[in-house]
């Protein structure tokens, strides 16, 4: 390997002599650059540097490989080979990740050699090398990376609000992703998740997974992080509701299936006119389309016909525990009015049924803005980067971490962080170099040049300058 030293004067002299550069790239700041920089600023790449691998191998350091594969979810191409093909054409990003110029140009080792020599798709390394790196990370290490990555968001106060939702979604026929998502803000943040496969994904285990996710968040963000949990009944059974309410101080608002005794009791109260219906109108937006809905709602409290809840609550020292519930009948059209009413049950007593409906609406963030985005936008379902569980687990973890970084990037605070991160990662960048300086490697040295400065060195200076007039500092420590 030949390493280059930072010597701008030597590069300029070599260019004046007519020497051809070994390598040229730009330091332009685009979305991919900024997302990688924000990933670095949030500590995600540093967390990956510290991941424990199950076995070591010679060649490219695992830290560099994991940094690279963690960047791939940001690339538009979802497949591993397609994403690497795009990323490996971005030398500025590769330099940012830690690849040396000689590695970018000639590759890092002798693996995956072709009879005709190393091929372009294997520079700086072959995609299989990245896939192998994923497989060398165990499940416990990925769980550590997940918790540490989310903790960084909490520490920077980028996870705001105390309303969370839990739900699951299948990833093909082999896996199911269950995630706990903060849905208080307009940009959902995935705060804990599990990739289930085989017996672990069988029905009946959902409430246990929900408890794991809640405990993980409370450990990372503090005991007061969650005030209300939104869920389907599949992910919140009676014992879980009692544990949330009387052990963790968390209220739950859960959809109630028609076959539950509590639902039937609520319908009986409505049919006997013991509780009254009220009429409401509201506007909802789905995929950018606004819809006016009309509903009729009735509610009742002091309900005790959920033995799993009341029995567990008694063990926790609350013998008179009860639930609040409401029925919601959509009367927007004749077809919806003919359907059975929806029901919501809660450990919190809401002012009325319409307030509960409004409180439950953010749960759709987990379906529309999280799972659909992960599958359609990030390719998580179709492109797992490998056929085994280890590769799928690594792909899922890195994608969820990247999803969160992208959500933060879309916030005003995230834009400021990304800008700050770019400046920190590129200390050589100075205002007088303009928006897109060039990095040239020649004669064993490299230097950073403004475009106008480069044209002057090549004998074709611009007639007028668009560079900002920056006064030189008199401080001896100022950059030159």
Residues with Cβ within 8 Å of residue 333, at least 6 apart in sequence: none
**What DSSP character marks residue 29?**
-
- What's the confidence (pLDDT) of residue 288? 62
Using alpha carbons, select from 38, 78, 45 the residue that is nearest to residue 62: 45
Number of CB atoms found within 10 A of residue 420's CB? 13
Q: What is the pLDDT along the chain (480 residues), one digit of tens a residue?
A: 456 787 889 999 998 888 888 777 766 556 787 888 889 889 999 999 888 887 767 678 889 999 999 999 998 888 888 888 888 877 778 877 888 777 777 776 555 555 554 555 567 888 888 888 898 999 999 999 999 999 999 999 999 899 999 999 988 888 899 999 999 988 899 999 999 886 544 455 678 999 999 999 999 999 999 999 999 988 999 999 999 999 999 999 999 999 899 999 999 999 888 999 999 988 876 666 677 889 999 999 999 999 999 999 999 999 999 999 999 999 888 888 888 999 999 999 999 999 999 999 999 889 888 998 899 888 888 888 887 888 899 999 999 999 999 999 887 766 666 665 554 444 443 444 445 577 788 888 888 887 788 888 888 887 776 655 544 445 554 444
d(CA 134, CA 69): 8
CATH fold of 159-377, please?
Answer: Transposase Inhibitor Protein From Tn5; Chain A, domain 1 (3.90.350)
Residues with Cβ within 8 Å of residue 318, at least 6 apart in sequence: 242, 246
- What's the confidence (pLDDT) of residue 284? 74
pLDDT tens for 48-82 read 988 888 776 767 888 999 999 999 999 888 888 88
Task: For residue 76, count CB atoms less than 10 angstroms from its CB and return exposed for 0-12, middle for 13-18, buried for 19 or more.
Answer: exposed
Reported as type and span, the H/E element at residue 169 is strand 163-171
Structure tokens given for 448: 């950073």
Number of CB atoms found within 10 A of residue 29's CB? 18
- What's the confidence (pLDDT) of residue 353? 92
Strand partners, 170: 176
Q: Cis bond leading into 124, ω under 30°?
A: yes
Number of CB atoms found within 10 A of residue 301's CB? 13
Pairing of β 189-197 and β 175-182: antiparallel
d(CA 37, CA 323): 48
- What's the confidence (pLDDT) of residue 431? 45
d(CA 414, CA 146): 20
Residue with tokens 């594969």: 69
Q: Are 331 and 393 in contact, with CB atoms under 8 Å apart? A: no
Domain ranges of the chain: 28-138+378-425, 159-377
Using alpha carbons, select from 462, 449, 432, 431 the residue that is nearest to residue 15: 449
Strand partners, 299: 326
pTM for the model: 0.80
């Amino acid at each position: 390997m030949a390493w280059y030293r930072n010597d701008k004067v030597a590069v300029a002299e070599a260019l004046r002599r007519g020497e051809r550069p070994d390598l040229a790239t730009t330091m332009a700041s685009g979305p991919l650059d900024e997302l990688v920089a924000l990933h670095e600023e949030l500590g995600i790449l540093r967390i990956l540097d510290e991941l424990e691998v199950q076995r070591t191998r010679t060649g490219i350091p695992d830290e560099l490989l994991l940094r690279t594969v963690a960047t791939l979810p940001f690339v538009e191409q979802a497949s591993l080979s397609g994403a690497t093909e795009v990323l490996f054409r971005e030398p500025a990003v590769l330099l940012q990740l830690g690849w040396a110029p000689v590695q970018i140009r000639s590759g890092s080792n002798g693996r995956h050699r072709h009879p005709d020599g190393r091929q372009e798709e294997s520079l700086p390394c072959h995609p299989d090398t990245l896939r192998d790196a994923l497989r060398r990370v165990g499940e416990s290490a990925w769980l550590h990376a997940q918790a540490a990555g989310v903790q960084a968001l909490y520490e920077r106060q980028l996870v705001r609000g105390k309303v969370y939702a839990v739900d699951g979604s299948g990833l093909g026929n082999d896996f199911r992703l269950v995630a706990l998502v903060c849905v208080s803000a307009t940009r959902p943040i995935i705060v804990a998740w599990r990739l289930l496969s085989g017996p672990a994904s069988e029905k009946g285990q959902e409430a246990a997974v929900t408890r794991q996710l809640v405990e993980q968040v409370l450990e990372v963000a503090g005991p007061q992080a969650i005030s209300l949990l939104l869920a389907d009944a599949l992910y919140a059974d009676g014992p879980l509701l009692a544990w949330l309410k009387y052990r963790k101080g968390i209220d739950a608002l859960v959809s109630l299936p028609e076959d539950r005794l509590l639902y039937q009791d609520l319908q009986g109260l409505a049919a006997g006119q013991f509780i009254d219906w009220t009429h409401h109108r509201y506007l909802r937006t789905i995929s950018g389309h606004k819809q006016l809905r009309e509903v009729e709602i009735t509610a009742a409290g002091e309900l005790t016909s959920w033995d799993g809840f009341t029995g567990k609550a008694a063990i926790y020292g609350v013998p008179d525990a009860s639930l609040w519930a409401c029925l919601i009948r959509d009367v927007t059209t004749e077809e919806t009015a003919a359907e059975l009413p929806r029901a919501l049950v809660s450990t919190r007593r809401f002012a009325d049924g319409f307030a509960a409906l409004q409180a439950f609406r953010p749960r759709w963030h987990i379906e529309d803005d999280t799972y659909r985005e992960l599958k359609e936008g990030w390719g998580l379902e179709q492109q797992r980067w490998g056929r085994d569980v280890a590769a799928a687990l690594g792909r899922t973890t890195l994608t969820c971490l990247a999803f969160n970084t992208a959500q933060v990037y879309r916030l005003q605070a995230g834009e400021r962080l990304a800008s700050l991160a770019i400046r920190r990662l590129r200390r050589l960048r100075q205002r007088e170099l303009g928006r897109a300086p060039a990095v040239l490697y020649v004669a064993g040295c490299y230097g950073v040049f403004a475009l106008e400065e480069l044209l002057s060195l090549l004998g074709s200076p611009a007639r007028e300058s668009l560079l900002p007039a920056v006064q030189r500092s008199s401080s001896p420590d100022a950059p030159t």
